[in-house]
Amino acid sequence: MELIKEIEIRYFRSFYKFRLKDLGDLSIIFGKNDSGKSNVVRALNLFFAGRPEHSHPFDFPIDFCEQRLSESEVADDVRKFLYVKVTFNTPSSYRKSLGATFSIKRQWTVSRGADYNEEISRHIPKQKHYLVTRLLNKIKFIYIPAIKDLSIFEMLLASIHETISESADFTKAIGDFSNQLQKMTSEMFKGLPEEVSSSTKIGAPTQLSQLFQTLDFETLANGELTPKSLTRQRGDGVKVRHIPELLNFISEKDKFDFHIWGFEEPENSLDFVASQSEASRMLALAKGDRVQVIMTTHSPSFYLLDDPSVAKYYVSKNSKGLSTPTQGKDLKEFDAQSALQDGFYLPAVAEAVKQVAEIEARAKQAEEAATNLAQELAEITTPVVLTEGRTDAKILLLAWEKRRGGTPPFQIRSCETGGEQAGSGNGGAGSLALRVKAIAADHPNTVVALFDRDPEGIAAYKLDKNFVEFDVVGHKAKRGMHGKSYAALLPAPDFRDDCAAYQNLPIEFLFRDEHLGKSVDGKRLALKGKKASTMVGTQKVEKPLDDVTHFKDVGNGKTDFAEVIVPSFDAEAFDAFDQVFSIIEGLIAFEAARVD
């Protein structure tokens, strides 16, 4: 729920002129200790509850900004005041009367003390101010400080009483309790003389909110035989995990329509895994239609949440000790190194955690793809040639048909997984190397990996220590020491010596330039010229290289080239592929002889 759109704070504690814009369902405020991030939540508590913290009432001399105080001491015209201004996205049922958004500013002055002056958006006429008050009365703000001690649970239990006190079932239960208690104790005062009292009995409790504060929760973990007290016997991490669920119960059951949680450091006392789970849970609750969460954190688990419903703000202090926010586009361009200079490591740590998570995800995906491919290959009884991509496989198959005719005595497969229309993001030289290394010694057939002779292909062709290089039909190739798996680079024809020298020989360059430039039905292969670059002082200088094929990269149109243009070539255009097939056949023959 995005009820609060913007928060503007002036002269409160470490804030001089401070504003957070475009808050989300879940707004995450992060920064180093003592940066002032918690003052955002405390300012909201001042706005809604009239005090910045549960344990400390508003005290103007303490809560007034020191910078503003210094200015007021040297200049008579500098007024001593502070304010919190909240801009709301108007709920649909009020939008016709109050507009799409409206704001409320509550201002405190040194002379008024705890009393404040309230200003409502000018576009709302005074006769409609009652609607603003009515809406505010439907909003409940709950502040959870960084230290989650027993008093927080007492406060939440009192709120639970407030939530269920108007329930008919609860009222009946209290009545039954009182009646039963009176029956059981009816003899207690029977001996009193009538002049003292004609009837004395135990009455129904009237201060149930205080009674609720003394209650506790019993928890029973897996494997335990007896329940334990949540607040007195469980660790802080277990207690903290219960707080969002208590808040959610209150938000779902009470009389308020809208709920805002000001939550300081929900990750406190949680390990990494629990923090990850708590972040996901908090986001799920905030994306509902009754709750908005504004929180502070030091945890990458929260800072790394990637969802359109999340807004993030980095708070730091300037040279004057005043808190300033980095947000929006500025935060997207935020340099983690600048935070390190401030002594704040979360962005850098978060970036590292994100990169590790991405690497692990890619590795897991690659492992799954390799397993799936190995299962597919095990079902093939003939040798298999694996290429880096689908278009490579199509070109190779066309070349066999043009030069040899018929069906090749081996399968030609791409290392990409998925259906024919799947994207090409999981192919490439690295994936091809991973797949050929996954071929087991008991694999039923020979597998040959064919790498492009470019920097990526050459690097991937190195494979690992389990592969040894040897000569086959006048070319270098590699064999897995356990057999069955082989690898080779595309051989360079005489007319592509320069491509070999500059390590720029993809399979498309096995055709001559006149073929690469051919167009069919307006479709053609795009080649992009490379540039040479160097640093001159602090400036990067780039210069286009000569307009020759070995200084070009294959751009758009690979699929059209393989499916539309290549089939139009005559057999002579494929002559460079003879060497490719010679290597493949040589490797298959070598494996057959070795097995025999």
Looking up tokens 């018929």, which residue turns up?
Answer: 406
> Are the CB atoms for 63 and 56 separated by under 8 Å?
no
Residue 353 confidence (pLDDT): 56
How many CB atoms are closer than 10 A to CB 201? 13
Angle at 14 between CA 11 and CA 17, to 5 degrees: 45
Cβ atoms within 10 A of the Cβ of 34, count?
A: 11
Q: What is the pLDDT of residue 82?
A: 95
CA distances from 510 to 57, 455, 490, 515, 570 (A): 80, 17, 9, 10, 14
Sign of the Cα torsion 586, 587, 588, 590 reads positive
Side chain identity at residue 156, one-letter code: L
Strand ranges, E, within 515-588: 527-529, 531-536, 539-544, 552-554
pTM: 0.53
For residue 539, which amino acid is it?
A: Q
What is the three-class DSSP state of 104?
A: strand
- Read off the DSSP letter of residue 410: S
In tens digits, what is the pLDDT along the chain, a chain of 596 residues? 899 999 999 999 999 999 999 999 999 998 888 889 999 999 999 999 999 988 788 999 999 999 999 988 888 788 899 999 999 999 999 999 999 999 999 999 988 888 999 999 999 999 999 999 999 999 999 888 877 656 666 666 666 666 666 666 656 665 666 677 667 666 665 655 666 555 555 555 555 555 544 555 556 566 656 665 555 555 555 666 677 777 777 778 778 899 999 988 888 777 777 888 888 888 998 998 889 999 998 887 888 888 999 999 989 888 888 999 988 888 776 655 555 445 455 555 555 556 655 666 666 676 666 666 666 655 566 899 999 999 999 999 999 999 999 889 999 989 875 544 434 446 789 889 988 888 877 777 889 999 999 999 999 999 989 999 999 999 999 999 877 899 999 999 999 999 999 999 999 999 999 999 999 999 999 999 988 888 888 788 888 899 999 999 998 999 999 999 999 999 999 999 999 999 999 999 998 888 76
Instruction: Return the amino acid letter for 216.
Output: D
Complete DSSP assignment for 212-241 = HHT---EE--TT-SS-EEHHHHS-HHHHHH
Residue 212: per-residue pLDDT: 47
Per-residue confidence (pLDDT) for residue 355, from 0 to 100: 62
Please tell me the predicted confidence (pLDDT) of residue 236: 59
CB 284 within 8 A of CB 291: no
Choose among 6, 3, 2, 43: nearest CA to 22: 6
Catalogue the E-assigned strands of 273-366: 291-297, 310-317, 323-326
> In terms of Cα–Cα distance, which of 384, 439, 443, 379 is closest to 408?
384
Q: Domain 4-181+204-344, what fold? A: Rossmann fold (3.40.50)
Q: What pLDDT is stored for residue 111 in this prediction? A: 87
Neighbour tally for 260: CB within 10 Å: 23
| DSSP per-residue string spanning 446-511 | -EEEEE-BSHHHHHHHT--TTEEEEEETTEEEEEETTSSEEEEEPPPPGGGHHHHHTT-B-GGGGS
Domain ranges of the chain: 4-181+204-344, 358-595
Distance CA 336, CA 328 (A): 16
Q: Please tell me the predicted confidence (pLDDT) of residue 501.
A: 94
